[in-house]
Structure 1
Amino acid sequence: MCGRFVLFTTGDDLLNEIGALPGVTTVEAPDGTPPPRYNVAPTQQVPLIRFVGEAGETAALDSARWGLLPSWKKDDSGPPLFNARGETVAEKPSFRSAFKARRGLMVLDGYYEWKDKQPYFVTPSEGLLYAAALWETGLDRLSTTMVTTDSVGETMTWLHNRLPLFLTRDDIEQWVAGTSEEALELVHPSRIAGDLSYRPVVKEVGNVRNDYAELIDEV
């Protein structure tokens, strides 16, 4: 699963990364880019990438609540739907509508996972991570959730049995623009799991009020 993440790539660097994704010709960020964040938690605002235009060639970067708000919800009470299990995402009432028609991406530099009360920072060998996401506009708010799958590989299964569905650059167009059946073909343990590494970090990351660069330093 993923319940905390980090995004310190921002500004023009973030827009350039998104603009280089396959099929993207234009990037829109009407509210600008987010500031660097080192401890993003559920129910907070996060950057969400949606693909719009006749051919999905425009990547729109918007701020969304991390915790899906389906159209049938009457308020934002209850546990936030910040992760969606890939195994049931196409059938579960909370997610099936968004899975059919509202698939996007969450972007991150890395995320935190805990093992025996010790937090670890998980990061790719290079570049950004693009996590498969769903979005909704229930309660007149843009909201999102991150899709997860079983973990894979000795390193990641040791740390946790669940892993965000990270997409390769070549997978992204199929996820956001394909049919439900084509998108479902990608819902399997992330093929980039082998490129992930982790390091132990300070336990202060457990407090959501802490948000500074030193949280990702190795201890």
Structure 2
Amino acid sequence: MCGRYTITMPPDAMRELFGFEERPNFPPRFNIAPTQPVPIVILDGGKRRFLLVRWGLVPSWAKEAPASLLINARAETVAEKPSFRGSFRHRRALMPADGFYEWKAEGSKKHGGAKQPYVIRRRDRQPFAMAALWDNWMPADGSEIDSCAAVTCEANETLVAIHHRMPVILDEKDWDTWLDPATPPKELQTLMRPAPADLLDAQPVSTRINRVANDDATLLDPAAIEPEPEKPARPKKEPDTRQMGLF
């Protein structure tokens, strides 16, 4: 699952890293949420292009927008699921990012059922590319909506204690292979794997991230996790001496 993420690199740095010609003015974002516009990089005419699309894929063949937001596509089934298989074959993309968030249950009694958020980033704090799919949908009103979904896989050893899923993070040497529409499906499957355990780290952050309106650099500040208080020892039950025949 990937439900929130960050892109804080300057536009020129994004352009240089991902090699597209457009000069977008995409501001730093610290709390990107589903349905919001997000940048992706696609291959068009042999060149990489920058697109700003809706996070929450709508298949081109859909008569109406799906009732549930399709923000993630599972790597294990992406080639077969009707909602994703067309995009998987023909419209793959890169989602630039420099961090994503995940939530872990730290103790239901202490937190009242709430979960502790973590920010997950590369250890060297460099940006990266999440594997993604995109599509173009034309609703009945004749408008056009470009949209995308991030591809997810099983979590690696670093993240499995927080959540059992993670986005597919593509090695830079594999970006062209992922984008190329001629890449065979079997080769694509080899790319959709957990990131190396030593690539990322996870730090607890404030629950301010839970509110979509909060979108500032302080969301990345480390938050202390207080240990859950120990349960008081139960008092020993005195034996009922009457049942022992003493009275």
Q: Which residue of 1 aligns with 2:190?
A: 185
Would you say 1:129 and 2:133 are equivalent positions?
no
CA distance in 2, matches of 1:101, 1:64: 17
Q: Deviations over 1:46-102 (max 9, x none)?
A: 00100122xx3x221110000101012223251110000000000000000000010
Counterpart CA distance in 2 for 1:135 and 1:13 is 23
Instruction: Provide the residue aligned with 2:22 in structure 1.
Output: 29
What SS does the aligned partner of 1:28 have?
A: coil
Matched, 1:52 2:50: no
Amino acid of the structure 1 residue aligned with 2:21: E
Which amino acid letter does the alignment assign opposite residue 158 of structure 1? A
Structure-1 residue corresponding to 2:199? 195
Of residues 78, 84, 91, the one that matches 1:95 is 84
Q: Which stretches in structure 1 are left out of the alignment for 5+ residues?
A: 20-26
| 1:156 corresponds to | 159
Residues 137-183 of structure 1, C-alpha deviations (whole Å, 9 max, x = no match)? 01221110000001121x21111100100000111122111222321
Give the gaps of 5 or more residues in structure 2: 106-114, 139-143, 224-247
For the pair 1:217 / 2:221, whether they are aligned, the reply is yes
Does the aligned pair in 2 maintain the 1:176–1:183 contact within 8 Å? no
Instruction: Decide whether aligned partners of structure 1 residues 171 and 120 sit closer, same or farther in structure 2, where only a CA change above 3 A counts.
Output: same
Deviations 1:99-131 (A, max 9, x none): 001011101010110011111110002321211
By how many angstroms is 1:194 displaced?
2.5
> Superposition RMSD on alpha carbons, in Å?
1.3
**Would the aligned equivalents of 1:119 and 1:200 in 2 still touch at CA under 8 Å?**
yes
Q: Is the 8 A contact 2:102 2:118 kept in 1?
A: yes
For residues 58-97 of structure 1, what are the structure 2 equivalents within 5 Å? 58-97=47-86
Distance in structure 2 (CA, Å) of the matches to 1:33 and 1:17: 15
Alignment: residue pair count: 206
TM-score, structure 2 as length reference: 0.80
Provide the rounded CA distance (Å) in 2 between the counterparts of 1:193 and 1:2: 18
| Separation of aligned partners in 1, 2:66 and 2:172 | 35
TM-score (normalised: structure 1)? 0.90
Contact preservation (8 Å) 2:100, 2:121 = yes
Give the deviation of 1:193 after TM superposition: 4.0
* Aligned-pair identity (%): 40
Distance 1:41 1:14 in 2: 20
Of 145, 148, 151, the match for 1:147: 151
Change beyond 3 A, Cα 1:17–1:64: same
Q: Is 2:54–2:148's contact at 8 Å kept on the other side of the alignment?
A: yes
Alignment-derived partner of residue 175 in structure 1:
178
